[in-house]
């Protein structure tokens, strides 16, 4: 049992996470501070939500490069509805969700109906949705959101007991993120939806012959991803208190990196939600530690890219020797 556990991807990732944490705690001054660490997790929330969505997309053997652009667009739609159209905050948030759903459905329609490869479709819409966000907002930031809304990103539920003299707050968005991951886990690993998602990625033809409604599932998948991007836009906007068209640039790469690090097979067929969450934590902690150590943000971006590519190479080399 223990041997099987040790051979599992998730166990290895957990060990890496603990080791990384220990090294950073010893080497980097100011890193090991519960308050700072927990506050920091607010910035994981948007990439974390995109990564959860991306896990499903990659499990089908697809990819969605447009997620960060959709997020930016949804934030702008929400901000403009509120500022220019004078909509109440809940209605504006609803508009953001609707925009996300529409954007995702557009991706899904072209991918599942016209059967253009997702790579190409979402490469085009990555530019298209970003352009829409830039054009609509004329690249100006939109702020002035009500405190109740900002609470979603900046609020805390309670103090975390046992965290010393400066007790840490439990961030609202972290709780939401974990709840979404719990749902995603159940959906991926305990429901027929997740099973079918993986089977489509393993062998799409066989999935059709096994009476899985591949087209409908794919359409629903990309549409849901859009919806989740809209939801991520709410939290992201609340955390930063502004909606900006150029926000979350490169976040699709972060999301893909979390998924690949987490052990989901890049060509589809096998996915791990827990792995993606661990990937998110590893990347987040690495980033935080390096920032605390004074590494420039440019170099950290370089590092994220290298982590992605290196893990992909390791996966490929290890994967070939394993049974699968």
Please report whether residue 132 would count as binding another protein according to CB under 8 A.
Answer: yes
**Whole-number Å distance between alpha carbons of 50 and 308:** 16
Backbone φ, ψ for residue 52 (5° rounding): -60, -45
Among the residue ranges 97-105, 153-161, 235-243, 295-303, the one whose residues contact another protein (CB under 8 A): 295-303
Residue 196 binds another protein, judged by CB under 8 A: yes
Please tell me the distance from the alpha carbon of residue 295 to that of residue 165, in angstroms, as a whole number: 29
Q: CA 301, CA 306: separation in Å to the nearest integer?
A: 9
Contact between 119 and another protein (CB under 8 A)?
A: yes
Half-sphere exposure of 107 (CA within 13 A, CB side): 36
Distance of closest approach, residue 80 Cβ to another protein, in angstroms: 14
Among 6, 85, 183, 302, binds another protein (CB under 8 A): 302
The answer to whether residue 313 forms part of the interface with another protein (CB under 8 A) is yes
Is 190 near another protein (CB under 8 A)?
yes
Q: Are 100 and 227 in contact (CB under 8 A)?
A: yes
The verdict on 324 binding another protein (CB under 8 A) reads yes
Q: Which of 18, 127, 146, 159 binds another protein (CB under 8 A)?
A: 127
Binding flag, residue 126, another protein (CB under 8 A) = yes
Paired with 245 in beta bridges are none
Should residue 203 be labelled a site residue for another protein when binding is judged by CB under 8 A? yes
Closest approach, Cβ 34 to another protein, in A, equals 31
Q: In the bound complex, what is the minimum distance in angstroms from residue 287's beta carbon to another protein?
A: 13
191: left (phi over 0), alpha (psi -120 to 50) or beta: beta
Residue for token pair 């298209």: 128
Nearer to another protein, 150 or 303 (CB): 303
Could you tell me which of 248, 227, 254 has the C-alpha nearest to residue 236?
Answer: 248
Question: Three-state SS for 210?
Answer: coil
Q: Which of residues 16-45 bind another protein (CB under 8 A)?
A: none
Work out how close the CB of 306 gets to another protein at its nearest, in angstroms, rounded to a whole number: 7
Choose, by CB under 8 A, the member of 199, 234, 239, 282 that binds another protein.
Answer: 199
- Give the residue carrying structure tokens 């010393």: 164
Nearest in space to 307 (alpha carbons), one of 289, 269, 280, 288: 280
Nearer to another protein, 119 or 179 (CB): 119
**CB-nearer residue toward another protein: 232 or 255:** 255
Examine residue 241 and tell whether it contacts another protein (CB under 8 A): no
Does the footprint of another protein cover residue 141 (CB under 8 A)? no
3-state secondary structure of 165: coil
Other CB atoms within a 10 A radius of the CB of residue 82 amount to 23
């Amino acid at each position: 049992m223990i041997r099987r556990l040790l051979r599992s991807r998730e166990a290895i990732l957990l060990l890496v996470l603990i080791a990384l944490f220990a090294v950073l705690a010893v080497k980097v001054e100011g890193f090991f501070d519960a308050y700072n660490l927990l506050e920091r997790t607010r910035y994981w929330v948007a990439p974390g939500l995109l990564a959860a969505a991306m896990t499903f997309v990659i499990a089908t053997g697809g990819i969605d490069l447009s997620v960060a652009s959709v997020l930016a667009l949804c934030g702008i739609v929400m901000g403009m509805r509120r500022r220019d159209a004078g909509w109440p905050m809940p209605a504006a948030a609803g508009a953001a969700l609707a925009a996300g759903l529409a954007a995702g459905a557009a991706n899904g329609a072209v991918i599942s109906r016209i059967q253009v490869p997702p790579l190409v479709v979402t490469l085009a819409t990555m530019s298209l949705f970003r352009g829409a966000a830039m054009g609509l907002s004329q690249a100006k930031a939109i702020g002035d959101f009500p405190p109740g809304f900002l609470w979603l990103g900046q609020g805390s539920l309670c103090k975390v007991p046992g965290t010393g003299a400066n007790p840490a707050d439990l961030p609202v968005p972290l709780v939401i993120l974990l709840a979404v991951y719990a749902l995603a886990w159940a959906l991926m690993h305990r429901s027929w939806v997740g099973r079918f998602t993986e089977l489509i990625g393993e062998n799409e033809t066989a999935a059709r012959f096994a009476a899985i409604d591949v087209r409908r599932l794919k359409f629903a998948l990309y549409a849901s991803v859009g919806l989740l991007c809209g939801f991520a836009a709410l939290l992201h906007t609340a955390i930063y208190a502004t909606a900006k068209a150029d926000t979350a640039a490169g976040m699709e790469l972060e999301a893909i990196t979390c998924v690949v690090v987490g052990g989901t097979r890049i060509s589809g067929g096998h996915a791990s939600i827990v792995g993606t969450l661990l990937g998110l934590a590893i990347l987040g902690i690495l980033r935080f530690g390096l920032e605390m150590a004074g590494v420039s943000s440019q170099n950290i971006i370089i590092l994220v890219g290298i982590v992605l590519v290196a893990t992909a190479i390791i996966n490929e080399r290890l994967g070939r020797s394993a049974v699968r």
